[in-house]
Amino acid sequence: MSDWQEITGGVTAPRGYRAAGITAGLKPSGLPDLALILSDVDAIAAGVFTTSHVRAAPVDYCRQRLQARGSARAILCNAGQANAATGEQGWKDALASAEALSQVLKIPADAILLASTGVIGQRIRMDALVSAMPQLVAAASETGSDAAAQAIITTDLVTKSIALETTIDDRPVRVGGICKGSGMIHPNMATLLAFVTCDAVVSTPLWQQMLSRAADKSFNQITVDGDTSTNDTLIALANGQSRTAAITEMGPEAEKLEAMLTAVCQYMAKSIARDGEGATCLIEVQVTGAPDDKAARQIAKTIVGSSLVKSAVFGRDPNWGRIAAAAGRAGVLFEQDNLKIQLGDIQLMEAGQPLDFDRAAASAYLKQAAAGAYLKEDTVLISVSVGSGSGTGKAWGCDLSYDYVKINAEYTT
C-alpha cells in the first residue's frame, strides 16, 4: 500500500506553480510548441541530463546554471528545433531565450532553465520565440499543466502527466510531472524531456541525490530503440510552499518524499515507453535473484532493449530463446542452470531447461496486450530469475513494429 494518492493537476498540482503552453510558430505543423513552468518563489533545482558527447545547447546551459546557482524560478521549453549541433550560435540562442523571458518576467536570466526538442541541427526560430514571450507569460496559470504538456511533444501520440500527494508533518506535500518522449529513447538518459515540481522543503544536495536515484529506477530503465538523444533533460524543482519542516538528511520523511518522487518518475518513464514510436504494447521485464539491484536492472534493461525480443513481441511469438540470449549477454554472471523465464502467468523455462507450454495461449497473451494499447492493460510482463541473490530490478520498453521504421524514415521529410 503506497503512502500517497494520485491527484489531478500535473506540474501545477504542487503549491506555488503556474504553467502555460502556446503556439509560437516554431513547429511547421502549427501545433503548440512553447511551454513555461513558473514557480512563485525561488525553488531548489536538480537535474539529470544526457550522457551523449553531442549535447544540445540547453543541456550545457542548464548544467552551468545548476552548478552555479542550484535554484530556479522558471523552465522554458521549445519544441520543433532541438538546438543541438548548432555550434556557437546555438549557445547564443540559448542565452537570448533566457534573457527574453527574464525581461518579461522581471527575474534574473540565470533563474531560468531551458530545454529544447525537435530536429537535430536546427536552430530555434528566435524571432518567433522572442515575440511570443509576453503571450506565454500572460497564459501562465494554476491550471496550465495540460497546455504545457501539449506544447512539449513532438512525435508523441499522447500527452503525459501525473501528480501525487502525501502527508508530511500533517500537511499535504505534492509532486507533479509532465514529460515527452516517443522515439530516440534509451537509458542514460534518452529523447525525453521531463519536468517535475514539488512543494516540499528540501536541501539542494539531498534533492539532487533523490532525483538521481529516482532516474536510475525510472528513466534510465526504459528503451524504445537504443538511441540516446542529444537533448535528454530531467529537471525537478522544490519550492517549499507546503510549509513543512526542512528535509536535509535521509530519514522517514525523506524516504517518503523520495518514494513519491520515484513513483512519479516511474509513471512518466512507463508512459514514454508505452508511447514508443509505432508501439502496440508496453513491455515490462522483472528480474530477481541477481547479485544486487544494479545487476538485476542491467539484465532487465538488456532484455527489454533487445531488438529480437521486441520484434518477437510484436509478432506475438513467445520466443523465450531470445529472452534467454539477451539475459546471457547482459554482462552479469549467473549460472545457466538457475535461469527461469515466465511470460505473464505462463512458465516457459525452469532451471535452465525448456518447458512444455501452450504456445497458442502464450501468443494470445501477447495479442491481448496489443489490443489494450495506451491502456494500463497493455503490458507484456516478462519475469526472469537468475539465481538466489537479493537483487531485483525492472525495465520498460515497447515492441518494435513496421511503423517505427516508417515514422523515422520520414522524420525530416
- Kindly list the catalytic residues: 191
Name the strand (E) or helix (H) holding 133. Answer: helix 126-139
Residues composing the chain? 413
Residue 247 CA to residue 12 CA, distance in Å, equals 22
Which of 246, 70, 91 minimizes the C-alpha distance to 169?
A: 246
Strands 379-385 and 282-289, by their bridges, are: parallel
Which of 102, 16, 137 minimizes the C-alpha distance to 148?
A: 137
380, β-bridge pairs: 283
Maximum separation of any 2 CA atoms in the chain, in Å: 69
HSE-CB at 238 with a 13 A cutoff on CA atoms is 25
Residue 403's identity, in one-letter code, is D
Strands 346-350 and 112-119, by their bridges, are: unpaired
Other CB atoms within 10 Å distance of the CB of residue 70: 16
Which of 206, 204, 203, 198 minimizes the C-alpha distance to 246?
A: 203
Cell numbers standing for residue 227: 538511441
How open is the CA angle 290-296-297, to the nearest 5 degrees? Answer: 175
Residue 377, C-beta contacts closer than 8 angstroms, at least 6 positions apart = 368, 369
Residue 381 CA to residue 360 CA, distance in Å, equals 17
Q: Would you say 237 and 111 are in contact if contact means Cβ atoms under 8 Å apart?
A: no
Other CB atoms within 10 Å distance of the CB of residue 123: 17
Q: Would you say 52 and 36 are in contact if contact means Cβ atoms under 8 Å apart?
A: no
Q: Would you say 365 and 316 are in contact if contact means Cβ atoms under 8 Å apart?
A: no
Residue 240 CA to residue 172 CA, distance in Å, equals 12
Following DSSP, what letter does each residue of 316-373 receive, concatenated? T---HHHHHHHHHTSS----GGG-EEEETTEEEEETTEE----HHHHHHHHHHHHHTT
Residue 378 CA to residue 376 CA, distance in Å, equals 5
